Amino acid sequence: MIIGLLQLNPTIGAFAANREKLVAAYARAVAGGAEFVIAPELFLCGYPPRDLLHREDFVEANLSALAETAAQTGAVPLCVGYVEKNSEQPGRALKNAAAVLQNGQIIWHTSKSLLPTYDVFDEDRYFEPAKQVEPFVFNGKKLGITICEDIWNDEDFWPERLYRRDPVKDLIAQGAEIILNLSASPWHDGKEQTRLAMLRRVARDEKIPLAQVNAVGANDELIFDGHSAALDARGDVLALAQGFVEEILVVELERKAQSPKPRVQSCAAFPPREDLLFSALVLGIRDYVRKCGFKSAILGLSGGIDSALIAVMAAEALGPENVWGVSLPARYSSRGSLTDAEILARNLGIRYDVFPIEPVFNAVEVQLSPVFAGTPPNEAEENIQSRLRGVTLMALSNKFGGLVLTTGNKSEMAVGYCTLYGDMNGALAPIADVLKTDVYKISRWVNRAREIIPSDSITKPPSAELRPGQKDQDSLPPYEILDAILELYVVKNLSKAEIVARGFDATVVNDVVNKITFSEYKRRQAAPGLKVSPRAFGMGRRIPVAQRFRPAL
């Protein structure tokens, strides 16, 4: 059977636009010879719709889009994800469903069996799981149609299974000859390899051809990478879509014995890690800005590596003509910082302006001098500078309509090395889930062919420049140590004692973990960050702010 895979980028709630994109892609797949076409999970409404699912008008609009899509189908079936009402009671009001559309009609539907509730997922909040599954018969073949998580429970691949059922095995037991999977599987570092390895294992062990179509694009914090794949019954990869772009694949699933071996054989087909991270973040910026109705972005350029990398990604995402870099120097800003910011802007071709905050800083100092008199300078004076920069950037945004990008990285966000209502001001934090050590790696990758980010921005000691001679390492351990501890504590959930047992200094571990705990209130008020790690701050990590648990060492 020749399967068409529509790796497309939906926008949540844009029913007409999603439908038009789907119908156009369907027509292209049919013209390319597809005999059966599949589109991603919940494509018609966009994923994840979250509490929009509590709105009756949203659900009805999704059902109307399904009917309108069906009306534009011909003899080649199209299977697409949508939200179905649950007629069985008691139970949740909705189902995460897939429908087969053909010759203007909705001819068959099924729903998702396994509803994830871990990390960023909360599907059990909205959907009723399917109690049973059965194949769909088309042209004499039994097709096992599954939805995303339904294929992620293979007992031979996962040492710890989350569900008692395995819908793939249930379908094969009923005679399914091909497994098709409609997915909206969000990306994080390394997931493209895990996903493909898991699909290969299922196809090989079950001796069945398999095709998965995955959504691409970004919605709020989540980035969907695509990398849709088709595999034969030996687990060999017949086709692998590109990552982070829309693509239509038309693939013959049942490779003949005399056919040459497939070109794509392993996860080595994927680009380098830095390439994937950069592409993911560029897509995240582009979709967040445009899906929120903006055309341009504004960011403060400090001359440092964080703002430099974000400027590069924003220019790639939106076009350099739609990025405005602003330097906001005060008394502690070095001349080199201004020079580096100006060189970067020139290299990128973005607009660049300098707005000194020193006059306003002086005025605020005068205003506060009566009450500050007799107290030593501390972070209060330092943070005034950061907040004045935030005020300026937001004023430019309000006046000219650009969306402000904040420039803090995950290392800083973790330990609270950031200023509320200051450098945290903005609508999107593109690298809030990127550790500082990875910021350096991606920046060097950016400069692999020519110098785009000034070398001084990469090599000079990082500094907030809020007091004389300030360096990040005055307040923090070296980033190589800090990031290793963060990976173990935040991502892998290890205890202090377990981290110390791996060779880290107990005093440093205790200090870092305390900073993480005490900074939760800041992160709760932070702009959304693009998720690129297995465990990001934000929607997938739900820690109370008002709590007294202090991990023991």
Write the CATH number of the domain with boundaries 278-476: 3.40.50.620
Q: What is the pLDDT of residues 482-501, one digit of tens each?
A: 999 999 999 999 999 999 99
Mean of per-residue pLDDT scores for the chain: 94
For the stretch 191-206, pLDDT in tens is 999 999 999 999 999 9
pLDDT per residue as tens digits for the range 17-76? 999 999 999 999 999 999 999 999 999 999 999 999 999 999 999 999 999 999 999 999
Q: What is the pLDDT of residue 468?
A: 79
Residues 6+ apart with CB under 8 A from 411: 417, 435, 436, 437, 476, 479, 482, 483, 486
pLDDT class for 106, splitting at 50, 70, 90? very high
Residue 433, pLDDT above cutoff 50? yes
What pLDDT score does 413 carry? 96
Amino acid of residue 319: G
Q: What percent of the chain has pLDDT over 70?
A: 97
Instruction: Give me the phi and psi of 459, to 5 degrees please.
Output: -95, -25
Residue 164 has a CB neighbour count (10 Å cut-off) of 7
Q: What is the C-alpha to C-alpha distance for residues 211 and 319, in angstroms, rounded to an integer?
A: 35
Residue 267 confidence (pLDDT) above 60: no
Between CA 265 and CA 426 the distance in angstroms is: 43
Total-model pTM: 0.94
According to DSSP, the β-strands at 2-7 and 36-38 are parallel
DSSP summary character for residue 235: S
| Cα–Cα distance measured from residue 216 to residue 222, given in angstroms and rounded to the nearest whole number | 10
Residue 538 has, within 13 A of its CA and on its CB side, a CA count of 24
Q: What is the pLDDT of residue 471?
A: 78
**pLDDT tens by residue, 537-551:** 998 898 999 999 888
CA distance 279 to 301: 21
Determine the pLDDT at residue 255: 58
pLDDT of residue 263: 44
Instruction: For residue range 398-413, list pLDDT tens digits in order.
Output: 999 999 999 999 999 9
- Per residue in 276-321, pLDDT tens? 999 999 999 999 999 999 999 999 999 999 999 999 999 999 999 9
Burial class (CB in 10 A: 0-12, 13-18, 19+), 197: middle
Tens digit of each residue's pLDDT (9 = 90 or more) over 217-255: 999 999 999 999 999 999 999 999 999 999 999 999 975
Name the CATH topology of 2-270. Answer: Nitrilase/N-carbamoyl-D-aminoacid amidohydrolase (3.60.110)
- What is the model's pLDDT at position 321? 98
CATH 3.60.110.10 region(s) of the chain? 2-270
Q: Which residues are catalytic?
A: 41, 112, 148
Report residue 360 as tokens: 């306003």
- How far is Cα 134 from Cα 175, in angstroms, rounded to an integer? 9
- Listed in order, the ranges of the chain carrying CATH 3.40.50.620 are 278-476
